[in-house]
Amino acid sequence: MTSMAEDKKQILELVKTYCNHYHKESEEYNEGDRIAYAGRVYDEEEMVNLVDSALDFWLTSGRYCNQFEKDFSRFLKVKHCLLTNSGSSSNLIAFMALTSPLLKDRQIKRGDEVITVAAGFPTTISPILQYGAVPVFVDVSIPTYNIDVNQLEAAVSEKTKAVMIAHTLGNPFNLKKVKNFCEKYNLWLIEDNCDALGSTYMYKGEERLTGTIGDIGTSSFYPPHHMTMGEGGAVYTNNALLYKIALSFRDWGRDCICPSGHDNFCGHRYDGQYGLLPQGYDHKYVYSHFGYNLKATEMQAAIGVAQLKKLDSFTERRRNNFNYLKDSLKDLEPYLILPEATENSNPSWFGFLITVKEGVSRNNLVQYIEKNNIQTRMLFAGNMIKHPCFDQLRELHSGYRVIGELKNTDHIMENTFWIGVSPKMNQQKLDFMSKVIHQYFVKREEC
């Protein structure tokens, strides 16, 4: 009769065999095959971890979640990390943490302002609006596609409490100037790092990973991102108070810090006095915030533990793919604006941004590329305030402010798209993408 450990070992060995037989993707590419802009990259290690966690059948957060938070903190060189169920949830937690009364005079209150950009993804700004704070939109610069730091002074007011912006498609924004601005006006800085995990920025003579320079950073582990858990995300900070608050918001708003499945972790479960509750009320059911349940599961974290070991190699491949595309498309600069890294940065690129110049139709170019089975994407919302979700706010002329005319934001909305540089790309795919884009302009000139 075998032991449980021996049975598990046998099962996991079979999982390796199954993964290598049925899940190993061919490196071979034939012209005409679909080229996705991104996707999951995994091997037997992720699948073994996934089945291992399933065999434990501990369905909420547990040993794999704890391991990932420790490993990810170590990778980022930050003190505190919280695993969440998505990058969007991470942005929600990061922002809501700044609304806590525990922050006293630095608490963001309804009606306070947060500087951000409209050229990006909606969940960078959704928490601001949903809470009742006021996003203040400034323009971006091309070809870095990040916040125009020259507009920061025009955006600040007596009500400004924070800056919340993303590193666009892996390209860091100007952290030196944004951080100096935040320090000048005593503002919080949230780095939405969901599209930039692995990117670095030279800050005060030290190469730092993006997401770790502001007060709080966020990541997403959705399949196209730099690493994946399927769904999943993280919030991280070096600030112990912000960590405590973020933990509360993630876990129902509770005051207790007991890990899932553990009681009386602090040893003071029944001897505290909280709010207007009776003396000694069970601390496990004391709520210091109006929170949520945004935890990840063990199965997600099990995949993440394996993925994190591969992140450096993923980053290297993204950079190599980006550089190859930029070199191969350089001769098309009379027609296209190619992306540039922000000064003092080394991006882990999420995609290769292209803006067409005057006289070139983005729609025609994109449709030609797509007809050749190459997946494209817009720069997310383009201009967020022109979407239907802003209709009522526009009609009311309230709820947000705009600095200037957002000319570059509108230009991106009308003329910009991107193609993939993910680790799934190989030389043949990169060459074919370049070939198709070149073909478009040859045919265009012939017409």
Whole-number Å distance between alpha carbons of 81 and 98: 16
Contact 418, 352 (CB under 8 A): yes
Q: Assess whether 225 carries a catalytic annotation.
A: yes
Q: Which two tokens stand for residue 216?
A: 């709080």
Burial of 267: CB neighbours in 10 Å, binned 0-12, 13-18, 19+: exposed
The H or E element that residue 163 is part of is: strand 160-166
Domain ranges of the chain: 51-300, 311-446
Cβ–Cβ < 8 Å for 75, 311: yes
| CA of residue 431 relative to chain centroid, distance | 28
* Residue 356 φ then ψ, to 5°: -80, 145
Q: Where do runs of H (alpha helix) occur along 186-297?
A: 240-250
Report the pLDDT value the prediction gives residue 398, as an integer from 0 to 100.
86
Give the integer Cα–Cα distance in Å for 190 and 194: 12
Q: Residue 224 corresponds to which tokens in the numbers above?
A: 């196209």
**Is residue 161 within 8 Å of 106, Cβ to Cβ?**
yes
Give the model's pLDDT for residue 1: 72
- 212-268 confidence digits (pLDDT tens): 999 999 999 999 999 999 999 999 999 999 999 999 999 999 998 887 777 888 788
Alpha-carbon distance 11 to 18, whole Å?
10
| Number of residues in the chain | 447
Per the structure block, which two tokens stand in for 341?
Answer: 């890294």
- Bridge partners of 165, per DSSP, are 191
Tell me phi and psi for residue 188, to 5 degrees.
-75, 150
Task: Walk across the sheet containing 345-346 and list its strands.
Answer: 206-209, 200-203, 345-346
Residue 391 CA to residue 373 CA, distance in Å, equals 35
Q: Is 313 strand, coil or helix?
A: helix
Half-sphere exposure of 162 (CA within 13 A, CB side): 32
Q: Which of 80, 167, 225, 411 is catalytic?
A: 225
At 288-322, the pLDDT tens digits run 999 999 999 999 999 999 999 999 999 999 999 99
Two structure tokens written together for 221: 């582990």
Model pTM?
Answer: 0.96
- Provide CB contacts within 8 A for 79, sequence distance 6+: 73, 237, 238, 240, 243
Within the chain, which residues score under 50 in pLDDT? none
Dmax of the chain from CA atoms?
84
Instruction: Please report the pLDDT score of residue 447 as a whole number.
Output: 65
Q: What is the pLDDT of residue 397?
A: 78
Cα separation of 438 and 93, whole Å?
44
Q: Is domain 311-446 given the CATH code 3.90.1150.10 in the classification?
A: yes
Tell me yes or no: is domain 51-300 CATH 1.10.1060.10.
no
Spatial distance between the Cα atoms of 403 and 325, rounded to a whole number of angstroms: 34
3-state secondary structure of 102: helix
Name the token pair of 133.
């704070």
